[in-house]
């Protein structure tokens, strides 16, 4: 778990004195449009909060919100991949059953 958190610290926007929430915001918007709407919306909200905190003096809060936004993006993409794989398996299994189940013997 700590290895994943340390990798999140090196995500775009997390390095430097002032955190930049724009990469997380763009990734959240793309996640909302292409992958998983609920996770993308949560990522957009946390990115917007991070932008507000980064413009103020709460750098630690901005970094935490950017990290949460990246977690939401990764969760949305992960859910999309899992759902797509399950859909393909379902189509292959049901299609195979329909193709081979309807045949009468030779």
> In this predicted model, what pLDDT tens digit does every residue of 19-55 receive, in sequence order?
899 999 999 999 999 999 999 999 999 999 999 998 8
> In this predicted model, what pLDDT tens digit does every residue of 57-92 receive, in sequence order?
899 999 999 999 999 999 999 999 999 999 999 999
Rounded-to-integer distance, Cα 62 and Cα 55, Å: 9
Three-state DSSP at 9 gives coil
Has residue 86 been placed in a domain? no
Structural domain of 16: 2-76
pTM: 0.79
Report the pLDDT value the prediction gives residue 101, as an integer from 0 to 100.
74
Domain count, the chain: 1
Rounded-to-integer distance, Cα 77 and Cα 11, Å: 16
Has residue 90 been placed in a domain? no
Has residue 95 been placed in a domain? no
Has residue 96 been placed in a domain? no
Has residue 7 been placed in a domain? yes
In the predicted model, is pLDDT for residue 4 greater than 90? no
């Amino acid at each position: 778990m700590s290895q994943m958190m340390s990798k999140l610290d090196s995500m775009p926007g997390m390095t430097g004195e002032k955190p930049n929430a724009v990469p997380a915001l763009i990734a959240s918007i793309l996640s909302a449009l292409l992958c998983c709407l609920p996770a993308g919306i949560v990522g957009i909200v946390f990115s917007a909060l991070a932008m507000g905190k980064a413009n103020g003096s709460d750098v630690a809060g901005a970094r935490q919100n950017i990290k949460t936004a990246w977690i939401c993006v990764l969760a949305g993409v992960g859910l999309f991949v899992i759902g797509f794989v399950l859909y393909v398996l379902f189509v292959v299994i049901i299609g195979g059953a329909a193709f081979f189940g309807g045949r009468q013997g030779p």
